[in-house]
Structure 1
């Protein structure tokens, strides 16, 4: 009986500590998306931040076709808009949310997934992800 009591006490101490560790590990994994990312066409940089439990991606820099970088202080109309919105971490290095396409001016469902090589797969779609378009973004910071 004494052994059962000791086992119960040890489990009651270990389980909450272990659960806290899992929560911390999950949060750290979810924050891997935070940073500055270069789009695959190298025309834009997206800064991803965490707001509460969701992640947002803001257009922080863009390049004109003349290879001149737009300064953030210039009133371009697009700088500062949120390209990625309400990304929610779903585990396994995947986030689901919405993406805005400035060219078509449409918003689509999207998922973001980190690859083993450090690139980020961004897939926008309507309906099901089978009918969509993917890009691979590179981390800058």
Structure 2
């Protein structure tokens, strides 16, 4: 009986730890900070110890075939759908930093910081230029 109680307690502790230790990996609905409009779904994943994010769905049917005409280099005029916009993020405590985020609308790359908000289903996405920054809050897709 005592062994059974210990197993149940251990099981409950493991479930609690897994819920509390959610990470940023998975799919997120991007929300435009100016309009509040949902724009796309970005899949955030780990590759070679770094974190990346790729646009896997464009929500506006009129923009689904859009090309990145403001991109430079090899990405110029490639589809926005499939574009890797978050690159080379490294986990540092509760933040993911030292990488970049690309905005296909303005063609600019920004320093980036990612972190779960108080709600683990909300991702704080912050882009920096020098000491100035803008923040968006993306919502986890189920």
Same fold (TM over 0.5): yes
Q: Number of aligned pairs?
A: 106
Matched residue, 1:84: 86
Tell me the distance in 2 between the aligned counterparts of 1:102 and 1:81: 9
Where structure 2 has 5 or more consecutive residues not aligned to the other structure, the ranges are 1-16, 32-36, 66-77
RMSD: 2.4
TM-score by length of 1: 0.67
CA contact (8 A) 1:125 1:132 kept: yes
Matched residue, 1:63: 59
Matches within 5 A, 1:23-102: 32-40=23-31, 41-64=37-60, 70=64, 77-91=79-93, 93-96=94-97, 97-102=99-104
* Residue 68 to residue 36, structure 1, CA distance change in 2 (3 Å): same
CA contact (8 A) 1:94 1:112 kept: yes
How many angstroms does 1:54 deviate by? 0.3
Which of these two proteins has the greater Rg computed from alpha carbons? Answer: 1
The ranges of structure 1 where at least 4 consecutive aligned residues each deviate by more than 3 angstroms after the TM superposition are 67-71
Where structure 1 has 5 or more consecutive residues not aligned to the other structure, the ranges are 1-24
Q: For residue 56 of structure 1, give the secondary structure of its aligned residue in structure 2.
A: strand
CA contact (8 A) 1:43 1:63 kept: yes
How many angstroms does 1:69 deviate by? 8.1
CA contact (8 A) 1:56 1:82 kept: yes
